Amino acid sequence: AMPPKLGMTYHKTICQFCSVGCSLWAEVENGVWTGQEPAFESPINQGTHCAKGAAMREIAIGDRRLKYPMKKVAGEWTRISWDQAISELGEKLLGIREEFGPDSVYWLGSAKYSNEQSYIFRKFAAFWGTNNVDHQARICHSTTVAGVANTYGYGAMTNTFNDIRNAKSILIIGGNPAEAHPVSMLHVLAGKENGGKMIVVDPRFTRTAAHADEYVRIRPGADIGFMLGLVREIFAQGWEDKDYINARVWGMDQIRDEVQKWTLEEVERVSGIPAEQTARVARMLAENRPGTLIWCMGLTQSTVGSSKTRAASILQLVLGNIGKSGGGANIFRGHDNVQGATDMGVSCDSLPAYYGLDEGAWKHWCRVWDVDYDWMVSRFASKDLMQAEGMPLSRYMDAILEAKENLDQPNPVKAMMFWGHAANSITRGPEQREALDKVDVLCVIDPHPTQVAIMSNKQDNVYLLPASSTAEIHGTVTNSSRSLQWRDKVFDPLFEAKSDYEITYLLAEAFGFADEMFKHIEVQNKEPVAEDMLREINKGTWSIGYTGQSPERLKLHMQHQDKFDSITLKGMSEPVLGDYYCLPWPTWGNPEDKHPGTPILYDTTMPVAKGGLPFRARWGVEHDGENLLAEGSFPADSEIKDGYPEGTLGMLDALGWSDELTAKERLMIISIGADRFKHDMFNMTEDEAQIAMDQLTLAALQQQSGGSDNINESWGGADGDTLNSDQQMVAEHFSSYPANALTAIKAYLA
Ligand code: SF4
């Protein structure tokens, strides 16, 4: 920790610029932030900063801050009071809600929020009655989530920044960490110094590429062809990790067939990468395992982004690199809390902790919020809309403009709330401008005046409200490698800025649901208390293990990171330099259980039948090639699901269950591997879990057997003689079910 200086106070905060999560000590004198030092005891940044982090103080206290609320009247910006702003917004938005329904207001949140703000923002949208809520993740790594979650289970970076130094090979594709995530290069270069082979694939020779052992210049858009070419070459040479694949990867035979067209020559034709270089890279990856695969927005921001991330995920399975120290799919997120905001459900298709929008998910959160489920339904225009995905951020302008073209159809979006989101991160500026001109109310809430406020030609009803910066609130942030860190407030909000917490409360008050929404969260001077919000998050997030992270625990860890220095984990060749103590989720159990966090997702030391996680390697038919840039691409998830019914569930059944697992644990494994959390399983009693488990296993069986009751017949042919050992296990497993349970389950499924 910083040595104390007389008259100063010190506050530990986290850099707000990128997702690495570097911590720093802020020096404060008489309430003014006067200096800063990177935290030497931080296992992540180890006393370093990049140029962006070094400017934290300057940006927070800079002269470009928005100083007071403003409103555009007849084309002129005028200063107004907060009271006027909140009361006018309350009246106008409620009027719009009354006339056009709750979906007519679009709530655009932010990856710069703390976890607590992200959480109450999603809750706020639910209380308002809409799923028209989203944030920056939609346009950066949502395609990563689609590829990774469907292959491994979680849509997150699998290992930690520190663990990259254990990698024997480091393949970076579509990322330039030396400039975008500079402190992460500390770990990448340490990995290289430890003997790891560094391969950088990029159309441009970047600062990152300058460090590479092998620089691969690729034609933009040809990533899938290259990665599948690597897969083909690895199979052709017999370098795949056969034991690993046999033990836990489902669907690899199909992959082997489908990559056959990606010969080295075909890869060269599509990508421009010489055949001998692709072969050389494949050999480097095979000879240097475990290896890490790092990607960023160069892979994701594409019309076929989810297929690219899926190809990358599969490449790591072929090499047996997932679930191991030094391996992993290490996806560098963008903003400082894009992982946390996604975890907290600031998105149109999920509730906090990746609960979907189905009835079970809503009931789960209603229980946590202590509100009546029917009341919650009544907040929405209909129960159907409550359970339907809202509009993604990338579509809001189309919705407005298409409605304009069709006069019979009312404009679905009447008010846009840009709350911590600048329009310059969204493409198609002219269409955005046109769309923003069409709405009745446009409101920007931000520490700085952003492009949204000035790009619109609207003459009236545009509000610009000053929010505090991240340095002016307490709360937690989750870095790209899932580590939660407590960020201390450094100074009070500047000028007339208010914290997002307070603004949320004031709007909820204006809309009449503040008491209901904050009934279990302490509110001081209209500002909900961060610690209490985190405690409520702890209550409902069993699915991703935010449950073990109390405010007290996180504060203690932040203050004493240096007390938890190097430890070596099972399966890790190098100590992890305290990263274990940044508490990466999942931290299962309650805070008092002191779960240390999970630096490496997916325990591959445990057999699947004992609860170790299985993976799914799958994709669908090839792209028809109409689009040259997309050549070698595969369709989006929605188009391919049906072609591949075998999923985690089927594989788990095929391998048999361990008797040591409780029904609840089995459900947890399934839910992690399944697409979404469709059941409020984590609040179930053991009996309820057992019933649900029975239902799921039977459903899996029916899916695989084509509905036949005769298991032996459907699995092994007419006489049942051709069952392999896995199928035999399934047959035995199911034949042990009591007849009445089967009858009950069939009745449920009918
Ligand atoms: Fe901030 Fe990222 Fe630089 Fe660290 S690497 S100082 S988190 S911008």
Domains parsed from the chain with CATH numbers: 8-61 (2.20.25.90), 70-137+338-466+498-528 (3.40.50.740), 142-331 (3.40.228.10), 643-749 (no CATH)
Of 447, 350, 439, whose CA–CA distance to 400 is shortest? Answer: 439
Q: For 358-387, what is the mean pLDDT?
A: 93
The residue contributing the CA closest to ligand 1 atom 3 is 50
DSSP 628: G
Measuring from atom 2 of ligand 1, which residue has the nearest CA? 18
CA atoms within 13 A on the CB side of 454: 5
CA–CA gap between residue 222 and residue 226 (Å, rounded): 7
Amino acid letter for position 114: S
Distance 21 CA to ligand 1 centre (A): 7
Ligand 1, atom 1: closest residue by C-alpha = 53
Residue 689 pLDDT > 70, yes or no? no
Q: Which atom of ligand 1 is nearest to the CA of 181?
A: 5
Residue 146 pLDDT > 60, yes or no? yes
- Percent of residues, the chain, with pLDDT higher than 70: 76
- CB 332 less than 6 A from any atom of ligand 1: no
Is the shortest distance between the CB of 187 and ligand 1 below 6 Å? Answer: no
The answer to whether 138 touches 394, Cβ cutoff 8 Å, is yes
CA distance 648 to 669: 9
Cβ–ligand 1 distance for 177 under 6 Å, the answer: no
Taking only the tens place, the pLDDT of each residue in 274-327 is 999 999 999 999 999 999 999 999 888 877 788 888 899 999 999 999 999 899
Which of 14, 22, 44, 207 has most ligand 1 atoms within 8 Å of its beta carbon, as the pocket-test mutant? 22
Q: What is the mean pLDDT of residues 183-212?
A: 96
Dmax (CA) for the chain in angstroms is: 86
The CA 23 to ligand 1 mean position distance, Å, reads 9
**Cα separation values, 433 from 351, 401, 437, 438, Å:** 30, 11, 6, 9
Of 257-271, 451-465, 486-500, 722-736, which range is least confident?
Answer: 722-736
User: Is the Cβ atom of 234 under 6 angstroms away from ligand 1?
Assistant: no
- Closest CA relative to residue 467, chosen from 527, 522, 388, 544: 527
User: Residue with the nearest Cα to atom 6 of ligand 1?
Assistant: 53
Q: 48 alpha carbon to ligand 1 midpoint, in Å? A: 9
Provide ipTM, 2 decimals.
0.99
Contact 53 CB / ligand 1 (< 6 Å): yes
Are 227 and 244 spatial neighbours (Cβ–Cβ below 8 Å)?
no
Please state the atom number of ligand 1 nearest to the C-alpha of residue 56. Answer: 1
Whether 487 lines ligand 1, by a CB cut-off of 6 Å, is: no
pLDDT at 161: 92
Residue 653 CA: distances (Å) to CA of 601, 656, 666, 712, 732:
22, 5, 11, 14, 11
- Closest among 409, 399, 416, 520 to 458, alpha carbons compared: 416
- Give the Cα separation of 337 and 487 in Å (integer): 12
What is the average per-residue pLDDT within 551-566? 70
Q: Which atom of ligand 1 is nearest to the CA of 14?
A: 7
Give me ligand 1 centre to Cα 52, in Å.
6
Q: Mark residue 565 as left, alpha or beta (left: phi above 0; alpha: psi -120 to 50; beta: remaining).
A: beta
Rounded alpha-carbon distances, angstroms, from residue 741 to 241, 661, 734, 750:
40, 20, 11, 14
Atom of ligand 1 nearest to the CA of 48: 6
What was the pLDDT predicted at 640?
30
Report which DSSP code applies to 167.
-
For ligand 1, is residue 181 a contact (CB within 6 Å)?
yes
| Total-model pTM | 0.83
Measured between alpha carbons, how far is 416 from 404 in angstroms, rounded to an integer?
16
Per-residue pLDDT reduced to its tens digit, 386-431:
999 999 887 888 888 887 766 566 668 999 999 999 877 777 788 8
**For residues 175, 50, 322 and 547, what is the CA-based torsion angle, rounded to 10 degrees?**
-120
- Going 260 to 261 to 265 to 268, the CA torsion angle's sign is negative
The tens digit of pLDDT for each residue in 635-661 reads 333 333 322 223 333 334 433 444 444
Distance (Å) from CA 386 to ligand 1 centroid:
38
- Coil, helix or strand for 405? helix
